[in-house]
Amino acid sequence: MSTAASARLVDAEEFGRELDRIRDEVIASLGEDDARYIRNLIATQRKLEIGGRVLLSASWLPPAWAAGTAALAIAKILENMEIGHNVLHGQWDWMRDPKIHSTTWEWDTASPAEQWKHSHNVIHHTWTNVLGKDRDIGYSAMRVSPEQRWYPVHLFQPFYNVLLALFFEYGIAIYDLELERIPSGEKDLREALTQLRTVAGKIRRQVIKDYVAFPLMAGPLFLPVLLGNLSANLTRNVWAHAIIFCGHFPDGAEMFTEDRVDGETRGEWYVRQLLGSCNIDGGRLLHLMSGNLSHQIEHHLFPDLPSNRYGEIAPRVRALCERFGLPYSSGSLARQTGSVWKRVLRLALPGPARHAAEKAAPPVSGLQSIG
């Protein structure tokens, strides 16, 4: 190994030790204020959901329908993003509260919690942005890296990305099944069918709840309530799609070759998480409504730390990146959204159309960036 490469590796390990110190400090300081935060948030979310459904039951008045739909949409966003996603990451397991625990929580979306935890917590967070390992790169449908093989179907990805946004919860539920691995024999058909039945059961319960039970309870207001629930779910889906795509696919999010992470150290894993993630700039409301995934960098560095702490440690992580000469990719929601769509449109066409900045990005800590 060259002296320069050795120096980079030493830098990566020191960078990792600094991040470990931040993590240890946060864990040591967790206490009643943090527990109060998540309990109050859950209580607020449930009040919003109840209030939204009550208002929808009075939806013969257009203002009541609009207010009810908005309240229900906000409740669903909070439940999925800041509560469900983070509870299922084990961020609140330290409380030892069986009602707010990664092993007991089931969220208000089409993906069964256990299947999602495997595909997201284990696969995605371990192999972030490693082609051939991280299935979240394009969700087995999108071409978001020039290194992915181009197929004619990718010409239509701008159109089916819109559909994915609208029906994001169902796209993720099906994606988690890994059905594309069945023809090659990588996945057993019986296992897939068992998982499919679990997904179908979860979807059936969600559909009955939002599109049958609550509308029927409204009697003659069946249709307005059904449309309100549908609108709330579509709003939640589009918002979740935007936040997640802005954290993973804008310019600045780098991809890596599988061979370059062989024997990866903890410090190198930290560097890869940093380089493969992008933040969204904004205020407290944006951070709350995004589940603090607007702090995607901090989330990927510390996926099991409570999300309410990400804003607190973000300046320290940014300063650490400046000290080690590492990029800290962040931009407004509008900028990151525009960057994502530019990539989706560009890579719908054949050819390795990399940005100049991506071509010039040097390897860091033994990791080879491929754009």
pTM: 0.91
Average per-residue pLDDT in the chain?
91
Backbone angles phi, psi at 265, to 5 degrees: -85, 170
Helix axes 222-248, 333-346, angle to 10 degrees: 80
Q: Is the pLDDT of residue 55 over 70?
A: yes
Q: Is the pLDDT of residue 4 over 80?
A: no
Query: pLDDT: is 26 or 184 the higher one?
Result: 26
Comparing C-alpha atoms, which of 4, 21, 237, 268 is closest to residue 109? 237
pLDDT for res 187? 82
Comparing C-alpha atoms, which of 72, 107, 109 is closest to residue 226? 72
| Burial degree of 197 (CB within 10 A; 0-12, 13-18, 19+) | exposed
Place of tokens 């590796």: 9
Q: Concatenated DSSP letters for 328-368? A: --EEEHHHHHHHHHHHHHHTTSSS----HHHHHPPPBTTB-
Q: Is the pLDDT of residue 118 over 70?
A: yes
Tell me, rounded to whole angstroms, the distance of Cα 222 from its chain centroid: 33
Q: Which amino acid is at 230?
A: L
Task: Give 278-298 pLDDT, tens digit per residue.
Answer: 999 999 999 999 999 999 999
% the chain with pLDDT above 90: 81
Strand partners, 279: 330
Q: Where are the domains of the chain?
A: 3-360
Comparing C-alpha atoms, which of 326, 142, 113 is closest to residue 245? 142
> 76-90, 91-105, 183-197, 334-348: which has the minimum mean pLDDT?
183-197
| Burial degree of 140 (CB within 10 A; 0-12, 13-18, 19+) | middle
Q: Identify the three-state secondary structure at position 235.
A: helix
86 confidence band (pLDDT: 50, 70, 90): very high
